[in-house]
Amino acid sequence: MKYEKSEGWLDWHANPSTPKFRLPEGSVDAHCHVFGPGSEFPFAKERKYTPCDASKDQLFALRDQLGFSRNVIVQATCHGTDNRAMIDACIASNGKARGVASVKTDISDHELQDLHQAGIRGVRFNFVKRLVDVIPQNELLTIAQRIAPLGWHIVVYFEAADLGDLETFFSALPTIVVVDHMGRPDVKKPVNGPEFSQFVSLMEQNPHIWSKVTCPERLSFKGPQALDGERAPYQDVAPFARHIVEQFPDRVLWGTDWPHPNLRSHMPDDGLLVDFIPHIAPSAKLQTKLLINNPMRLYWPEKDS
Ligand code: 0GY
């Protein structure tokens, strides 16, 4: 099937630069997606956008160019609960990719086992209304109870303004809960102001809640420009991410978010995104936890030492 991309859709960066920051050996890109290709893996009827194609081979080429060893591929909303493209990528990776799926309440135990076999280790609950028709919390709780015995976790995506309505639900979930993109803070507000403090308190009070310190390109108002010619992009987002990394070093993950769905103002250079990492995890110890120890514990526990 041939698809027309959504109007204004920006394609992923074709020639990302080589990062100046050398990723430690064994680093995991713990948040990225595949889109189609649409000719092989059709996009969902209920999708809210139509992306460009972004195949597993293109993802794996980026992994190698940037210096990552592994990927965690998160089911993108444009594929709904049809996880085939993501599963195909996990299987083709020869153990170098694991996945996070979107599932319905009526998924059978057998299907869950098949997903596990393919490398899936979590499900995603999405509360962002521009991306999905939000599923009622009682249904999500049923899914949570079904996947908990498999040792999986739940990835949640929401807008900062909705945190108040969701935090009781998140606190009650029976698995590790990983929040996408620090709960999307408004980085024009102070890092120690009431809005971001609400998110920090949620993590303080719930040791099962983790955060991805991802997507500076989505949260930034200043954009990627470097300071003094240095490769120090997205400086308005860095204090938020660094705060989370320093306070919760054992509960943070990092990922590129390639191929960067729904960006309208600019498409990031993925090499420059990697150069954001030392600005939020300034020591080798923090970098090892963020890029290796934490994602390995969650996605490759059998290899975790
Ligand atoms: C992200 C963010 C977005 C989209 C999706 O699955 C998706 O469609 O996750 C977004 O538009 O903010 O994490 O990729």
pLDDT for 305 equals: 56
Mean pLDDT of 154-180: 98
Query: Using a 6 Å cutoff on CB, does residue 77 contact ligand 1?
Result: yes
Give 176 Cα–ligand 1 centroid separation in angstroms.
20
Mean pLDDT of 209-225: 94
User: Which residue, judged by its Cα, is nearest atom 5 of ligand 1?
Assistant: 76
Distance 302 CA to ligand 1 centre (A): 29
The CA distances from residue 170 to 47, 93, 205, in Å, are: 25, 32, 11
Q: Is the pTM of this model over 0.85?
A: yes
Decide: 36 in ligand 1 pocket, CB within 6 A.
no
Choosing from 29, 53, 180, 257, which is the catalytic residue? 257
Mean of all residue pLDDT scores within the chain: 96
> What pLDDT score does 279 carry?
94
Distance 259 CA to ligand 1 centre (A): 10
Q: Does the pLDDT at position 228 exceed 60?
A: no
Ligand 1, residue 124: give the atom nearest the CA.
6
Question: Does the pLDDT of residue 79 top 60, yes or no?
Answer: yes
162 given a catalytic annotation: no
Amino acid 226: pLDDT:
65
Identify the pLDDT of residue 265. 85
Q: How far apart are CA 67 and CA 26, in angstroms?
A: 9
Give first-to-last CA distance, the chain, whole Å.
45
User: What's the confidence (pLDDT) of residue 203?
Assistant: 98
**Domains of the chain, with CATH numbers?**
28-299 (3.20.20.140)
Ligand 1 within 6 A of CB of 131: yes
Atom of ligand 1 nearest to the CA of 257: 14
* Nearest-5° Cα angle at 199, 157 to 77: 5
User: If you take atom 11 of ligand 1, which residue's CA is the nearest one?
Assistant: 262
Least confident of 31-45, 64-78, 80-94, 216-230: 216-230
Please state whether the peptide bond connecting residue 259 to the residue before it is cis, i.e. omega within 30 degrees of 0: yes
Q: What are the CA-CA distances from residue 159 to residues 89, 162, 168, 199 (Å)?
A: 28, 6, 16, 11
Q: Is the pLDDT of residue 227 over 80?
A: no
Amino acid found at 57: D
Which pLDDT belongs to residue 291? 98
pLDDT for residue 117: 98
Res 40 pLDDT > 90: yes
Using a pLDDT cut of 90, give the percent of the chain over it. Answer: 93
Whole-angstrom Cα distance, residue 162 to residue 35? Answer: 27
